[in-house]
Amino acid sequence: MVKVTIDGTELELAAGTSLFDACRRARGEALPHFCYHPDLSVAGVCRLCQVEVEGMPKLTIACNTAVREGMVVHTRSEKVRRAAQQILEMHLINHPVDCPICDQAGECGLQDQYMTYGLYESEVGKSDKVHKAKVQVIGPRVVLDKERCVLCSRCVRFCDEVTRTGELGIFNRGDRAEIGVAPGHQLDNAYSLNTVDICPVGALTSLDFRFKKRVWLLRSTPSICHGCATGCNVRVDHEAGTVYRLKPRRNAAVNGAWMCDEGRDTYRPLHDAQRLREPLLRRDGALRSATWPEAWAALGAAVGPDAPLGAAVVSPRQTLEEIALFARLAAALGAPTAGVSGGAREADRGEGDDLLRSADRAPNRASLAWLGLAEPAGADLAARVRAARGAVLVYGADPAADAPGWREAVAGRTVIHLGTRRSATAEAADIVIPLSAWAEKDGLLVNRQGRVQASHRAIARPGLALEDWRFLADWLAAAGATDAPASLPDLRRWVAGRVPALAGADLAVLPPEGLVPDAVATGSGGER
Ligand code: SF4
Ligand code: SF4
Ligand code: FES
């Protein structure tokens, strides 16, 4: 350990700690910077993070300096402030300053630094600036504006060090230096939009998000990506009930600062025409709108003491609490627990890689094992359902689309579908119950590490759709249970008491990096 003093605050830090990180700790905020990024190598090119170290003749950049015993550092002196101002002026000499038409405005490092250190009248006229190419589509998801680039090299380092695809480079020298893709190449890797996130200015922007919404109008809700079993931590940016984009939230134990491009698309189905907004009942051969009292009456007629449930199928895309409560409801309605299934496993498997993406596209499959639920796949699922008598209850899954033999297995039987979309299973069902999509509710997911993470409600449910746990609890109570959960915390306590891996865990407030229960951390439970 070494002792350093920064702006009068004494800190004891591990030897080798970067002075940049030490200053962040002492100041409670980062030094001005463009090129530093905690998950990339140090480039030391923007020169914005200069600090004064007593005993050193010149200012030094903090990102490329390690703390030393007895260091006395000043980050807010007049000398430091003046240096930041001069460096900023250099960055702005050729910058187009087209903030009113720039998508980055409102979350731009250059704007932020100018408001802190700049606020001067520029003596460089627009026509004196070096002009470069604007609006270049450099890949399927990214647009480049070369004039706005401050040559921090973050995007280049990301493609070299993280994806190792190396599409980007800095070409030429001096004021002709510019960012670009190698001739004949495109920025086309599975993580390309992370370059947009880390670009401190509006040089790299997202084709999907461009000009859709001014960022200061957006509200952000912390959540978890539901795109695969990795469970990347994300921020859901939304306004007036519409989600506009997902951005990664840093969690060193799960996704670092990154997420994949495919995961960013998972907000789209929230708002498409396939969403269920009201209960539907089959009448005269077609699905027709119904009221909630009509839907409850239909459920009561389809499943009850004289007509026990035949089989129940649940998707590993539902939350831990929902799957646990659904299994309890299915048992109360007469379906053996073995009838609860993870659904069409093959359909939830895609292409994985060794960075983040899991081949398992279900975000919560680990919960099934924790809850002791069988998970027959495809034709095996259809065979199990065929062998059971009575109505079939499907929650979230779409076996009509991905389980061979499903339609024959349920022919002539009442099918009840609980879900969010007009899927193939919903279209063929007799009773369709509209519930909440992932961004419209709170819930817990267990990722492939066995880490419990919390997903939060960002937007309201559409139309007459209900919150899942409430609907399940109401049906459970209607089926005669006197201890159906009265609230989500109540349900979580019940779940924690039922899952051995979670014994003693408090699911009310999870640590920021998620909860890895002791039984999982020591390898005695769960799926790693
Ligand atoms: S495009 Fe953005 S991230 Fe890349 S070097 Fe320029 S400013 Fe930095
Ligand atoms: S790796 Fe998986 S969890 Fe992470 S962003 Fe991609 S789809 Fe989502
Ligand atoms: S952040 Fe230190 S030189 Fe750029």
* pLDDT band, residue 228 (cuts 50/70/90): very high
- Joined tokens for residue 491: 């349900």
User: Which residue has its alpha carbon closest to ligand 1 atom 3?
Assistant: 199
Give the Å distance between the CA of 231 and the centre of ligand 2.
Answer: 6
Q: How many helices (H) and strands (E) does the chain have?
A: 16, 21
Residue 260, ligand 2, Cβ within 6 A: yes
Q: What is the C-alpha to C-alpha distance for residues 384 and 247, in angstroms, rounded to an integer?
A: 41
**Res. 443: pLDDT tops 50:** yes
Pocket around ligand 1 at a 6 A CB cut-off: 149-155, 179, 198-201, 203-204
pLDDT for position 525: 39
pLDDT for position 512: 93
| Residue 469 near residue 488 (C-beta atoms within 8 A) | yes
pLDDT for position 344: 52
Instruction: Quick: pLDDT tens for 116-174.
Output: 877 767 676 667 778 888 999 999 999 999 999 999 999 999 999 999 999 999 998 88
User: Which residue has its alpha carbon closest to ligand 2 atom 4?
Assistant: 232
pLDDT for position 4: 96
| Residue 343 near residue 399 (C-beta atoms within 8 A) | yes
The region of weakest confidence among 297-301, 303-307, 318-322, 425-429 is 303-307
Instruction: Quick: pLDDT tens for 475-521.
Output: 999 999 999 999 999 999 999 998 888 887 889 889 999 999 876 66
Give the Å distance between the CA of 276 and the centre of ligand 2.
Answer: 25
Using most ligand atoms within 8 A of CB, pick from 19, 21, 34 the residue to mutate for ligand 3.
34
Can you tell me whether residue 410 is helix, strand or coil?
Answer: helix
Give the Å distance between the CA of 199 and the centre of ligand 2.
Answer: 21
Instruction: Quick: pLDDT tens for 195-209.
Output: 999 999 999 999 999
Give the Å distance between the CA of 154 and the centre of ligand 1.
Answer: 6
Please identify, by atom number, the ligand 3 atom nearest to the C-alpha of residue 31. 1
pLDDT for position 270: 97
Which uninterrupted H or E stretch holds 424? helix 424-427
Which uninterrupted H or E stretch holds 399? helix 399-402
| Residue 224 near residue 453 (C-beta atoms within 8 A) | yes
* pLDDT band, residue 526 (cuts 50/70/90): very low
**Res. 250: pLDDT tops 90:** yes
Give the Å distance between the CA of 139 and the centre of ligand 3.
Answer: 28
Residue 33, ligand 3, Cβ within 6 A: yes
pLDDT for position 124: 67
- Joined tokens for residue 500: 């051995």
Instruction: Quick: pLDDT tens for 346-399.
Output: 566 778 999 999 999 999 999 988 998 878 777 788 888 888 889 999 999 999
pLDDT for position 524: 44
